[in-house]
Amino acid sequence: MKIIVQKFGGTSVACEESRVAVKDKVQQAIRKGFSPVVVVSAMGRKGAPYATDTLIGVLKEANLSVNVREMDAMMCCGEIISACVMAATLQKFGINAMALTGGQAGIITDSQFGAARIKNINCSNLMHLLESGIVPVVCGFQGMTENNLKFTTLGRGGSDTSAAALGAALKADFVEIYTDVEGIMTADPRIVKEANILQTISYAEVCQMAHNGAKVIHPRAVEICMSSNTPMYVKSTFSDAPGTLITSDRHGNCRGAEVDVHDNYASGVANINDLAQFRIQLNPKDLAAGRNLFEDLAEAGISVGCLNLSEKEAMFAVFTPDVEHTRKVLDETDFEYEVNEGCAKVSVVGSAMRGVPGIMANFVAALAAKNIQILQTVDSDTTISAIIKEECLVDAVTALHKAFKL
């Protein structure tokens, strides 16, 4: 049996016209000899009557300090409605389908409500349905605790995670993530009009793209597929474009299906807005104080990024809403510090950059040509990032996209 997992986001199931497009994708898979497992998100986005954020608002109107268990149960309702409506749509067109909650699909999680982790997946029910010619329509974003059978949710991006985990557990040929865009792009098309759709990208690269601001797929889902070596596609529900293949390397093939390769060092440019940079003076003779500082920040629940450390200075970035909280922690110490608000991070991602001379020089030169001041850089084998002023972000993304020939 050839199994694929097809995940459809909120816009793909929001109205009858969209659901018919989903039906077409499921039918195409069946005609090609696949047994599809469909995973759905809640219908629509914030403001839509059954969207997750809308349901949260309804519950908080009743009680702002609602119990996390009740919150998870409420948030699961959006996907349950979506799965039932999508299954009914498939049935209407002659496709034998059945709606399942995450728990009924065998997704067992821990009891960390709101951000549960998948412990295991029992595929017996899904396999029975597939062998009977039934298309399971599974609620994404949710699972069930092992002992007391309570609803849990997997956190933001949970439907992508559900699809990836089911694909790995079922040993699917591949996982398809359907959205309202035709694939992963080399940059945000709202910033760079010349942004292109990538034909292929590695697991590691797309994880870095997501961590650095690209919003196409959740990195947790990619990491699951990477660990099981399950190929993924990112496609549009509303077109027949081939989409972007995510696999073990940029030059590979998807189990026999060859993919054209563009031999660029970089795969894309990503960006994150709404940051502030902190520069803290350290005493090289008092290493314990520096260590204690970061312990204090962690205990205060402050997540720092873009960390640079030297004997005399520490630099890091936080999101703007965390600035005042960070100030309070620092003001309780003896450290002198400066805050540079109104910042952004721009990153170039590409596994082929590893060990290539001149990559950093190209990055710096592209920004210098636009008179963009680099406040700080951070790099790894696959990513070069810079903290810059937010008003320079559009020029920076555009310049880097051109400089790396994306």
Q: Could you read off the pLDDT tens digit of each residue along the chain, which spans 406 residues?
A: 999 999 999 889 989 999 999 999 999 999 999 999 999 999 877 777 878 788 888 888 888 888 888 888 888 888 999 999 999 999 999 999 999 999 999 999 999 998 899 999 999 999 999 999 999 999 999 999 988 789 999 987 889 999 999 999 999 999 999 988 899 999 998 899 999 999 999 998 998 898 888 887 888 899 999 999 999 999 999 999 999 999 986 554 554 444 444 457 889 999 999 999 999 998 877 777 777 888 888 888 898 989 998 888 999 999 999 999 999 999 988 889 999 999 999 999 988 887 788 899 999 999 999 999 999 999 888 899 999 999 999 999 999 999 999 8
Please report, to the nearest 10 degrees, the dihedral formed by the alpha carbons of residues 347, 349, 352, 355 taken in order: 40
CA angle 76, 78, 83 (to 5 degrees): 95
CA separation for the pair 185, 406 (Å, rounded)? 10
For the chain, the 3-state helix, strand and coil shares in percent, each to the nearest 5, are: 35, 25, 35
CA separation for the pair 406, 402 (Å, rounded)? 6
Contact 122, 170 (CB under 8 A): no
Output the CA–CA distances (angstroms, integers) from residue 46 to 49, 51, 54, 71, 82, in the order listed. 8, 6, 6, 17, 15
Residue 260 has a pLDDT of 42
Residue 251 has a pLDDT of 52
Residue 250 has a pLDDT of 54
Residue 239 has a pLDDT of 93
Which burial class, exposed, middle or buried, applies to 281 when counting CB atoms under 10 A from its CB (0-12, 13-18, 19+)? exposed
Task: Please report, as a single letter, which amino acid is at residue 272.
Answer: I
Name the residue ranges covered by the structural domains of the chain: 2-180, 268-403
Q: What is the CATH code for 268-403?
A: 3.30.2130.10
Contact 237, 6 (CB under 8 A): no
Q: At what angle do helices 359-368 and 393-403 cross, to 10 degrees?
A: 140
pTM as predicted: 0.85
Say which CATH class 2-180 falls into.
Answer: alpha beta
Residue 123 has a pLDDT of 95
